[in-house]
Chain A
Amino acid sequence: MDPVLLIDFGSTYTKVTAVDIDEPRLLGTANSYTTVQTDINNGLADALIKLEQTTGRLDFSARYAASSAAGGLRMLASGLVPELTAEAAKTASLGAGAKVLKTYAFKLTEDDAEEIARLSPDIFLLCGGTDGGNTDTVIHNAKVLHKIGGSYPIIYAGNRNAARECERILEGREVHITENVMPAFGKLNIEPTQKEIREVFLARIVQAKGLTQASELISGIMMPTPSAVMAAMKLLAEGTKTQRGIGDLVAVDVGGATTDIYSVCEGLPDDPRTSLKGLPEPYVKRTVEGDIGMRYSIRGIVDAAGLDRVAKIAGLGVERTAEIIDMFANNTELLPTDGETRAVDEALASMAVRVAVKRHAGRLEEMFGIGGLKLVQTGKNLKNVDKVIVTGGSLIHTEHTGRIASYCFYDEEEDPESLRPEKADILVDRRYIIAAMGLLSEHHPEAALKIMKQELVKDDSAK
Chain B
Amino acid sequence: MEQKKKTLVIGVIGADVHAVGNQILYHAFSDAGFNVINLGVMVSQEEFIAAAIETNADAIIVSSLYGQGELDCRGLREKCDEAGLENILLYVGGNIVIGKQPFDEVEKRFKAMGFDRSFPPGTPPEVDIEALKEDLHVED
Contact = CB atoms under 8 A, between A and B. Distances in A.
B55 interface: yes
A185 B53 contact: no
Question: Which has the most chain B C-beta neighbours within 10 Å: A81, A134, A185, A374?
Answer: A185
B35 A80 contact: no
Contact of A84 (B42, B50, B68): B50
B22 interface: no
A374 B17 contact: yes
A135 B54 CA distance: 9
Interface string A128-154: 111011110000000000000000000
A272 interface: no
Interface string B1-24: 000000100000011110000000
Most-contacted residue by chain B among A83, A128, A133, A370 (CB, 10 A):
A133
A345 to B, nearest CB: 41
19 contacts: A81-B50, A84-B50, A85-B54, A129-B54, A132-B7, A132-B35, A132-B55, A133-B55, A134-B54, A185-B54, A185-B55, A275-B40, A277-B47, A369-B14, A369-B16, A371-B17, A371-B66, A374-B15, A374-B17
Given A130-B54, A133-B55, A134-B55, A185 B37 contact: yes
Contacts of A275: 40-42
B67 interface: yes
Interface of A: 80-81, 83-85, 128-130, 132-135, 182, 184-186, 275, 277, 367, 369-371, 374, 376
Contact of B54 (A84, A277, A376): A84
B51 interface: yes
B123 interface: no
Interface of B: 7, 14-17, 35, 37, 40-42, 47, 50-51, 53-57, 66-68
Contacts of A277: 42, 47
Contacts of A370: 15, 66-68
Interface majority SS on B: helix, strand, loop or mixed?
A: loop
Given A81-B53, A182-B54, A371-B17, 16 more contacts: A83-B50, A84-B50, A128-B54, A129-B55, A130-B54, A134-B53, A134-B56, A135-B56, A185-B51, A185-B54, A275-B40, A275-B42, A367-B15, A370-B66, A374-B17, A374-B42
A185 B51 CA distance: 7
A184 B40 CA distance: 15
Contacts of A376: 42
B52 to A, nearest CB: 9
A135 B53 CA distance: 10
- Give the 4 A-B CB pairs with smallest separation, nearest first: A369-B15, A133-B55, A134-B56, A133-B56
B58 to A, nearest CB: 11
Contacts of B53: 80-81, 84, 134
Contacts of A80: 53-54
A421 to B, nearest CB: 27
Contacts of B55: 129-130, 132-134, 185
Nearest to A136: B56
Nearest to B47: A277
B42 A367 contact: yes
A305 B50 CA distance: 32
Contacts of B54: 80-81, 84-85, 128-130, 133-134, 182, 185
Nearest to B18: A371
A354 B68 CA distance: 39
A184 B37 CA distance: 9
Contacts of B16: 369
Centre residue among B15, B51, B53, B57 by max chain A CB count within 10 A: B53
A84 B18 CA distance: 25
